[in-house]
Amino acid sequence: MEEREMRTALIHPRDTDLEKLYPAQTIQMPIDHFHNDSIYEPHTNETFLLRYWFDASHYQPGGPVIVLQGGETDGAGRLRYLQKGIVAQLSQATNGLGVIFEHRYYGESHPTDDFSTKNLRFLTTDQALADQAYFAQNVVFPGLEHLNLTSHNVPYIAYGGSYAGSVVAFLRKLYPDVYWGAIASSGVPEAIYDYWEYYEAARIYGPRECIEATQKLTHAIDNVLINHTDTEYPQRVKNIFGLGNITRNDDFANAIAQGIAGLQGLNWDPAVNSTEFGHYCGNISSTEVLYPGIAEREEAKELLAVGGYDEVKLVNQLLNYIGYVDATAVKGCKRRGKSQDESFTNYDSKFYQQDDITQEWRLWAYQYCFEWGYLQTGSGVPADQLPLISRLINLEFTSTVCREAFNITTPSQVERINKHGGVNISYPRLAHVDGEWDPWRAASPHRIGLPGRESTVSEPFILIEKGVHHWDENGLFPNETRPGLPPKPVADVQKAEAEFVKAWVEEWHKARGDMMYGDDMGDL
């Protein structure tokens, strides 16, 4: 495999235009797979063009088709996994054909002419699952028309990360005769309406100084905003942050709460890693003033006292927090030439009414409003625990988009998702791979507090040490690796994935009586 990878690296340099290397293909997909379900009324018999990409360079007869579910984004953004990530690795190890499969409505796979609420009725997890099953049963790969590479004739293995990880987990359970196996990486099979636990990973695993400072400063500011509403102090807090023109207190609390959310962006792969979480923590943890002159020290000290804190070092940390918000939020608003309410409000009815085909923000918002939830609040944090974001960020605030954009006024129908098993989902040849530090771990089978599971070849159950969000998905060319890159926990899990997928493919052939298969499969 190393020689093959080296050849690939020479042919496909890092600056290759992946969309030229892997031209987009399309398949005619039914818009409506469920004519007996009233939520899709009025029904339609029409089809749309759903995009996919494939790489058959590793394929040999008997190899599987590895399908990566693109999830809630443009599928073209997943092509790097076809070139050198998890799809390439599994294809090489099994002599397989790799596929990136675009989720309906995302990218250019549009079933409708606009994203009006009426036309988003076909954007459900059930329809997406049926799409992926239909693909496996009907696809004819261009240039390989002489081969029957449908699920009737070859084993199909699905991979997905995050939301897409949940999709492939459900796919394996609901369509077991179509998809022989699936890997759910950082999958979130438990839909949770109030997902305050999103910030638990940061609280548990983040740098202590950063977390303690964030909790105390958030608590102090909340004490001012919530307990002193009829005084001058809430306005003074906004003023010291340079955000005095934000009208609503909850909008202000949300505007200053973005830094702590950066944990999810950490990645071992330098090409996609975000340093924002470290930047935020480095600022707020420092007890030395990093932004001289950013605000009046005595004003900061008084506001902290009103909020219930008189720690000397916390004054400097508040000043650094103010400097961080100025650099990452206030100055950006000024550069755009917009008012602070225009830049930061969550209550923009005019914006929410936009529903033409360019309004891609509506897609995942509709999905979580309708059936997934995951509203990330500070109000849901237990009363005996200091939150990392304001308690003003509550369900009323976070569900604004649901009411304003889609007229969804009731909680998300999470039972539509959780009927498949939630965090307890289990099925033969369904692997769960999660990150120890992942903010989405609380919605996964590796949720802290659940009984552990034995990891087997049939049902692998792997937690990546110090890993975050689907860290096994990325990959490097051999000439890009160096000591510690990829990290050993990632390299180990990718090797394990190749081994158990090879075992699954061999099992498929043995079940069909193909006893000679397996001798020529690639090695990692």
Q: What share of the chain is helix, strand, coil (3-state, %, to 5)?
A: 45, 10, 45
What is the rounded distance in angstroms from the CA atom of residue 38 to the CA atom of residue 34? 9
Shared-domain flag, residues 26 and 82: yes
What is the rounded distance in angstroms from the CA atom of residue 224 to the CA atom of residue 236? 10
pTM confidence score: 0.94
Residue 11 maps to a domain: yes
What is the rounded distance in angstroms from the CA atom of residue 355 to the CA atom of residue 74? 18
| Rounded average pLDDT over 85-96 | 98
What is the rounded distance in angstroms from the CA atom of residue 55 to the CA atom of residue 8? 12
Tokens (6 digits) for 480 = 């890009």
Shared-domain flag, residues 181 and 101: yes
Domain boundary among 406, 428, 452: 406
Q: Which amino acid is at 250?
A: D
Shared-domain flag, residues 164 and 87: yes
pLDDT of residue 13: 40
Q: What is the CATH number of the domain that holds 148?
A: 3.40.50.1820
Residue 212 maps to a domain: yes
State pLDDT tens for residues 428-449.
Answer: 999 999 999 999 999 999 999 9
What is the rounded distance in angstroms from the CA atom of residue 365 to the CA atom of residue 157? 29
Domain boundary among 366, 382, 406: 406
Shared-domain flag, residues 35 and 63: yes
For the chain, how many structural domains are there in total?
Answer: 2
What is the rounded distance in angstroms from the CA atom of residue 253 to the CA atom of residue 241? 11
Residue 5 has pLDDT above 60, yes or no: no
Residue 9 has pLDDT above 50, yes or no: no
Neighbours of 435 (CB within 10 A): 28
pLDDT of residue 330: 97
Residue 523 maps to a domain: no
Tokens (6 digits) for 103 = 């989720």
Residue 264 has pLDDT above 80, yes or no: yes
Q: Is 158 helix (H, G, I), strand (E, B) or coil?
A: strand
State pLDDT tens for residues 188-212.
Answer: 999 999 999 999 999 999 999 999 9
Residue 341 has pLDDT above 60, yes or no: yes
- The domain in which residue 224 lies consists of 194-406
Residue with tokens 């690296």: 9
| Rounded average pLDDT over 201-229 | 98
Shared-domain flag, residues 480 and 437: yes
Q: How far is CA 330 from the centre of its chain?
A: 27
Question: Beta strands 97-101 and 181-185: pairing type?
Answer: unpaired
Backbone angles phi, psi at 392, to 5 degrees: -70, -20
Residue 521 maps to a domain: no
Q: Which residues contact 237 (CB under 8 A, 6 or more apart)?
A: 221, 224, 225, 252, 303
Shared-domain flag, residues 340 and 422: no
Shared-domain flag, residues 82 and 146: yes
Shared-domain flag, residues 78 and 10: yes
What is the rounded distance in angstroms from the CA atom of residue 239 to the CA atom of residue 251? 14
CA proximity to 54, closest of 99, 104, 95:
99
| Rounded average pLDDT over 343-367 | 97
What is the rounded distance in angstroms from the CA atom of residue 167 to the CA atom of residue 187? 8
Among residues of the chain, what percentage have pLDDT more than 70? Answer: 95
Report which of residues 523 and 315 the model is more confident about.
315
Domain boundary among 363, 379, 406: 406
State pLDDT tens for residues 274-323.
Answer: 999 999 999 999 999 999 999 999 999 999 999 999 999 999 999 999 99
What is the rounded distance in angstroms from the CA atom of residue 473 to the CA atom of residue 161? 8
What is the rounded distance in angstroms from the CA atom of residue 2 to the CA atom of residue 11? 14
Residue 412 maps to a domain: no
Rounded to the nearest integer, the mean pLDDT of the chain is 94
State pLDDT tens for residues 390-429.
Answer: 999 999 999 999 999 999 999 999 999 999 999 999 999 9
Residue 2 has pLDDT above 70, yes or no: no
What is the rounded distance in angstroms from the CA atom of residue 500 to the CA atom of residue 431? 9
State pLDDT tens for residues 160-171.
Answer: 999 999 999 999
The catalytically annotated residue of 91, 109, 162, 343 is 162
Shared-domain flag, residues 428 and 460: yes
Q: Which residues contact 226 (CB under 8 A, 6 or more apart)?
A: 391, 392
State pLDDT tens for residues 471-516.
Answer: 999 999 999 999 999 999 999 999 999 999 999 999 999 999 875 5
Residue 131 has pLDDT above 90, yes or no: yes
Shared-domain flag, residues 383 and 287: yes
Residue 442 maps to a domain: yes
Whether 438 is a known active-site residue: answer yes
The catalytically annotated residue of 32, 438, 444, 472 is 438
Shared-domain flag, residues 398 and 444: no
Tokens (6 digits) for 408 = 């969804």
Please say whether the beta carbons of 70 and 81 come within 8 A. Answer: no
Shared-domain flag, residues 439 and 294: no
Instruction: Give the model's confidence band at 24: pLDDT under 50 very low, under 70 low, under 90 confident, else very high.
Output: very high
Please say whether the beta carbons of 486 and 476 come within 8 A. Answer: yes
Whether 458 is a known active-site residue: answer no
Please say whether the beta carbons of 482 and 454 come within 8 A. Answer: no
306-311: Cβ within 8 A, 24+ apart: 306/223, 306/224, 306/228, 306/233, 307/219, 307/220, 307/221, 307/222, 307/223, 307/224, 308/219, 308/220, 308/223, 309/216, 309/219, 309/220, 311/216
Residue 519 maps to a domain: no
